[in-house]
Structure formats: structure tokens, C-alpha cells
Amino acid sequence: MNWKRKDLLGLRELSAEEINFILETADAFKQVGTREIKKVPALRGKTLINFFVEPSTRTRTSFELAAQRLSADIVNISASTSSLTKGETLKDTARNLEALHADILVLRHPSAGAPQFLAQRLKSSVINAGDGAHEHPTQGLLDIYTIREKRGKIAGLNVAIVGDILFSRVARSNIFGLTKLGAKVTLVGPSTLVPREFEKLGVSVSHKIDDVLRKTDVVNLLRIQHERQRKEYFPGIGEYTTLFGLTKERAKLLKPDCLVMHPGPINRGVEIDSEVADGMQSVILDQVTNGLAVRMAVLYLCGGIST
């Protein structure tokens, strides 16, 4: 197949073939990081706008570095520096960015669907860098890339995603991507945050972490987002750690070759103990490295076609 999409809005609308195409393209871009000159002219002359209406350091920096390695020109705009604070609508802001001949718009937005809204109205490529509780496709892709790199395949693996699934866009992108590639996904967490409704997406739901940990090939721990938690959903930090945290003791249940993942930033001692986060089974820093390759691939593919 060849790549034909100008936008990356989520993994839900991608085929397994398209997901694999991105992963294989990322292999080629990962290699670029090992060259003496780590920069290629693939997007020379293109302008990329990193438009982050929600705070983010890691994802924004990763996109910025990816764009630089592809020789694109980059402008960063955050919520506080944009005219959104002056009452400009999202569409007007975006149209102004397009009038500046921006070719690629990387958007992080608190509202689900904001990237899709813009993708339908702009000629520029739109890359979703996280929209509300909807999707975070490049995070999903880099998680899948890391599993594939370490285990050589996705199909047939048991993958546990633990934490606040209900409000997590990372979880959704992982669920869509992993199930398409044939992994068996189990969601784990308190019933308020992991309702049985999710089974409709073709995954299992469990509220007993110890049973799941013994069998799983990958455990992906989501960050507990204190800043977003509401009392009625969340049991309290201490209780959460006791019931669902990947503590040193609980990590002993894991199979020796089980991968421990976390999208970061880590709350040490809350969803994961330091010893486990820094332990032999942790691939958390590989995720960061791979994120750069995956984002280079996505920017190259979506930004490199004529629109």
C-alpha cells in the first residue's frame, strides 16, 4: 500500500495495514537517530505549528524535535500565548495560522473532536496530539511500536492497561490500535473508572489487578491525573495505590519477560513504585525514544503528501 492521509486524528479510523505502515516507516526514522547527521531534508520548506491549548512538555518537545529532524520550520503556540485568551474562536485562530501558510498543524486540545473539526476545514495536515478524553494517536502508536520492538509481534499478546481508563485518551488509542493488530487487551482499575461498557470495544475488563498481572505480557500503567480527578470517581490516592498500584511486591507477580510501560510523567509511589519504574522490565525510556521516531514517521507521511 501507499500512504494517502493528510491527517492523523485517531487510531480508530486507521486500518491494521495503515498502522503497520506507520510502524515500519518509524523503523526507518529510528535509524536516522543513529547517523552522524541526525537530520534529513524530508520536510524542508514546510512549516509546522505546534498548537497546544493544554499544557504538555513531553509531547510538544517530541513533536518539535521530530519536526526539526525533518528540517521543517516550527512555531510553538500555547494556550496562554494564543489569542484564544482574547476570545478568538478555534476556527478563526486556525484559519489565521493557515493564512501564514502553515503546512502542518499539531493540535492538543481539551475538547474531543477539535482536531477533526479543523481537519475538515483546513487544507493543512492536522495531527491530533491529544483531544480531551478521545484519542492520543501518536502515544498509542509509540506504545505499540515499543511492544513490537521488544516482543517482535503484537498479535496474540496479552496487554493490560491499568488506571483511569474512563478519562484516558491514551487508553483509547491503545485499545483501538492494539485490538486491530490482534492483541488481547484487558483494562484494569476501579469500577468507577473502568466500567463494563468498554467490553463493547472488544476488550476484557477486570477489577482484580493481581489476577491480570500473573498472565499479562505487557502492563501499561496510566498516570493518575490528580488534577482531573473528581471525588465521586476516585477512591483517593492511598487507596488507589493499595488496590491498583504496581508496587514492588505486586511486581513479583509479573512474568519475567513482561514489559512495564508508562506514558509519563510518572507519579512515583502512586501508580508505580520507583523500583519498578527503574527496574529491568521497564521500557519507559524506550517509549520516549521511540516516540520521536513515530512522530517523525507521522509528520513525514501526513505532511509529505500533496493536499
Partner 1 sequence: MDAEAIRRALRRIAHEIIEQNADLKSVVLAGIPLRGVEISRRLSEFIREVAKIEIETGTIDVAMHRDDVGTRAELPMVHASKLPLPLENRTVIIVDDVLFTGRTARAAMDAISDFGRPARIQLAALVDRGHRELPIRADYVGKNLPTATKEQIQVRLQQVDQEPDGVWLFKE
Query: Of 118, 219, 246, 301, which one interacts with partner 1 (CB under 8 A)?
Result: 301
> Hey, which residues does 77 pair with through a beta bridge?
51
Q: State yes or no: residue 46 binds partner 1 (CB under 8 A).
A: yes
The minimum distance between CB 34 and partner 1, in angstroms, equals: 9
Residues whose CB falls within 8 Å of the CB of residue 51, separated by 6 or more in sequence, listed in order = 77, 82, 93, 94, 97, 105, 106, 107, 108
Task: Show the site string, 93-132: x = touches partner 1 by CB under 8 A, - = not.
Answer: ----------x-----------------------------
The minimum distance between CB 30 and partner 1, in angstroms, equals: 7
**Residue 188 · residue 174 · CB < 8 Å:** no
Query: Of 44, 123, 153, 248, which one interacts with partner 1 (CB under 8 A)?
Result: 44
The minimum distance between CB 31 and partner 1, in angstroms, equals: 4
Q: State yes or no: residue 15 binds partner 1 (CB under 8 A).
A: no
And the C-alpha cell for 193? 473508572
Coil/strand/helix, residue 176: helix
Q: State yes or no: residue 235 binds partner 1 (CB under 8 A).
A: no
Choose between 20 and 204: whose C-beta lies nearer to partner 1. Answer: 20
Q: How many residues bind partner 1 (CB under 8 A)?
A: 32
Choose between 18 and 217: whose C-beta lies nearer to partner 1. Answer: 18
Choose between 70 and 224: whose C-beta lies nearer to partner 1. Answer: 70
Q: If you write DSSP's letter for every residue of 7-27 in order, what string do you get?
A: -B--STTS-HHHHHHHHHHHH
- Rounded CA-CA distance 77/272 in Å is 33
Pairing of strands 158-162, 184-188: parallel
Choose between 88 and 98: whose C-beta lies nearer to partner 1. Answer: 98
Residue 219 Rama label (left phi>0; alpha psi -120 to 50; beta): beta
Residues whose CB falls within 8 Å of the CB of residue 2, separated by 6 or more in sequence, listed in order = none
Q: State yes or no: residue 233 binds partner 1 (CB under 8 A).
A: no
The residues of the shown chain that bind partner 1, judged by CB under 8 A, are 2-4, 21, 24-25, 27-32, 35-37, 39-46, 70, 103, 297, 300-301, 303-306
